[in-house]
Chains A and B, each alone.
Chain A
Amino acid sequence: MRRYLLRRLGQSAVTLVLSTMVVFAGVRALPGDPARALAGEQNNPAQVAAIRAKYGLDDPVPVQYWHYLTHSLRGDLGTSVRTGIPVSDMLRSALPVTAELSLLALVVATVIGVLAGVVAATRRGTVAEWVANGFALLGLSVPNFWLGLMTILWLAVGLELLPASGYVPFRESPGQNLQHMILPALVLGTQLAAVIMRQTRSSMLDALETDYIRTARAKGLRERTVVWVHGLRNSLIVVVTIVGLQLGALISGAVVTERIFALPGFGKLTIDAVFQRDYPVIQAVVLVTATAYIVINLLVDLLYSLIDPRIRVSGEAT
């Protein structure tokens, strides 16, 4: 187990360092001279040279990379060109919104996906299976931002059931916060629910054919217990794997969903930054996303090896 842990940690560290290099290279590939941009409208050569020296833009590339890395590690992600606010402060106010949205979407997707998957696997040849399968196919084919627009149109504008957009911090009013978040979470979770449903279904079908299920049935356990306790336990591992695999899709989806429902999260920050050419913000967003992705995936993998001892064993064997 310890060897597996160390190896997995080492891999993540390598990936992380390579990712920061990619971001650094991307920043250098940005159009225009950053020193001239910082000097503003009336840039004279002396001013530009001073800025160049101040920000270390004259240093060799490896030195610049090292500065970039150490600054980032200290949480110094630069200052927004547009607002003059430190980027880390902007992230601190935006990240909780996105984290809440993603977590809620994950819960919605897991509940719907697992339920539908089990139904499709155990009620073969019934209407319920068709409905569950149809739901999964639609979930994979409907663009989630369009689904967002449609739900706003019907539920919020037409029926006036839920607020169509906006955000209330959880600390101010948990009830209102959830009212604003539930539609976006449903919209963001649909596609993930479809993926989870399909995987749950296929791993459930596999599980139901195994000997230990036959044993459970032979013991005279009720079918409900066999399916939901014995069968599902194996399938839950699949859900954990999918969360790791679909994390990128979830992050991408959150950006779009926030845009549609006007939530002041990470996605809004990102898109605004692109259109305002706020390069320090873009750079920070890309770096933070990559880091978050790598760290969460590491955690998922560790969790996975805790749930399923077989992974540990094979991890040590190779």
Chain B
Amino acid sequence: MTVTEIDTDLDPGREAGRPRGGRLFRRLRRSPLAMTGFVVLTLAVLAAVLAPVLAPYSPDHADFSAVFQPPGSPGHLLGTDSLGRDILSRILFGARASLLVGVLSVLLALVVGVPLGLVAGYVSALDAVVSRLTDVVLAFPFLILAVGLAAIRGASLSNAALAIGISQIPGIIRVTRSETLRLKSLDYVAAAVAEGATDLWVVVRHILPNATSVLIVQATVAIPGAILGEAVLSFLGLGIQPPSPSLGTMLSEAQDSISRAPWTAVMPGIAIMVLTLAFNLFGDGLRDALDPRGSRR
């Protein structure tokens, strides 16, 4: 650690050692991999949001006079599939669905997991209860959960997000709990308690804000997992239903034509990979930048 990095902020209620805001971004900027992830991510989000404007065709527009056009064909940059649909357009709309499921499911996990984690970490008496609940959720692997949900409620985008979100709750609970345990033992919390602050006030005002950075990292790491999860479920037919474009359903449709038109399987896969890789690179960079031990790893 260099001298300039010593924390000189005297903001009360903020623990030393963990960078925030502008300095965090400066550290992040020093990592070329993290910045690459950030830039790719920004572009991908923009492309997905602007899909209706950017896509050259409607994702469902079938053209039987132009089936299995290879990438680079006139008018079809990434080629067409077995129904003559434009692969680029379908990927743009598919990425939209992937990001939507990724963000929604992680939000669900945060909304349920953070309060439970805070309670488990702060109220020792309830720790065991929350732990058992976590164990029960963990006992149902996400695919099995999705299978059960699909049996009860039918296969759909929202059920895929629900299954993925539920399976991410234990991870969020764990991280929040251990962060709460750590923060609870710090002097400033003891000071707040001594001043007569209520438990709720301590948790909401003193513990939660300081746990945010760790939670942001956890969320950044959870989203690529959720995106892969959506792709898997849609691939198996348990998620987004055709003909709605999804990277997973594109791959599942491509299975039959894989030797005749490999690009129908290659392109959506690369799209998934770029999305998750960008999230992982950015998440790694964020974690390194937040690590008070510096950039050793």
Is A180 an interface residue when CB atoms closer than 8 A count as contact?
no
Q: How far is the CA of A26 from the CA of B138 in the complex (A)?
A: 16
Contacts of B142 in A (CB 8 A): 248, 252
Q: Is the CB of B281 within 8 A of A18?
A: no
Contact string, A24-42, partner B, CB cutoff 8 A, digits 1/0?
0010011100000000000
**Is the Cβ of A140 less than 8 Å from the Cβ of B224?**
yes
Q: Does A286 contact B (CB under 8 A)?
A: yes
Is the pair A15, B259 in contact by a Cβ cutoff of 8 Å? no
Pair A149/B141 contact, Cβ less than 8 Å: no
How many angstroms from the CA of A271 to the CA of B233 in the assembled complex? Answer: 11
B125 contacts A by Cβ under 8 Å:
no
User: Taking the nearest CB of chain B, how far is it from the CB of A242, in angstroms?
Assistant: 14
Known: A205-B297, A279-B151, A285-B147. A293 touches B266 (CB 8 A): no
How many B residues touch A, CB cutoff 8 Å?
A: 46
Interface residue A225 (Cβ < 8 Å from any Cβ of B): no
Q: Is B151's CB under 8 angstroms from A149's CB? A: no
With A and B bound together, what is the CA distance between A29 and B150 in angstroms?
12
| Residues in chain A near residue B190, CB distance under 8 A | none
The contact string, 1 if C-beta is below 8 Å from chain A, for chain B 275-294, is: 01100110010000000000
**Known contacts A11-B131, A150-B269, A282-B151, then 7 further A-B pairs from the complex at CB < 8 Å, ordered by chain A residue:** A11-B135, A145-B251, A146-B265, A247-B141, A259-B236, A286-B147, A289-B144
Nearest first, the 8 A-B pairs at minimum CB distance are A252-B143, A248-B141, A146-B269, A141-B277, A141-B276, A290-B139, A15-B135, A251-B141
Could you tell me which A residues sit within 8 Å of B by CB distance? 11, 14-16, 18-19, 22, 26, 29-31, 137-138, 140-143, 145-146, 149-150, 152-153, 157, 201-202, 205, 247-249, 251-252, 255-256, 259, 270-271, 273-275, 277, 279, 282, 285-286, 289-290, 293-294
Task: Write the residues of chain B forming the contact surface with A, with a CB cutoff of 8 angstroms.
Answer: 131-133, 135-136, 138-144, 147-148, 150-152, 155, 167, 224, 228, 231-232, 235-238, 251, 254-255, 258-259, 262, 265-266, 268-269, 272-273, 276-277, 280-281, 284, 296-297
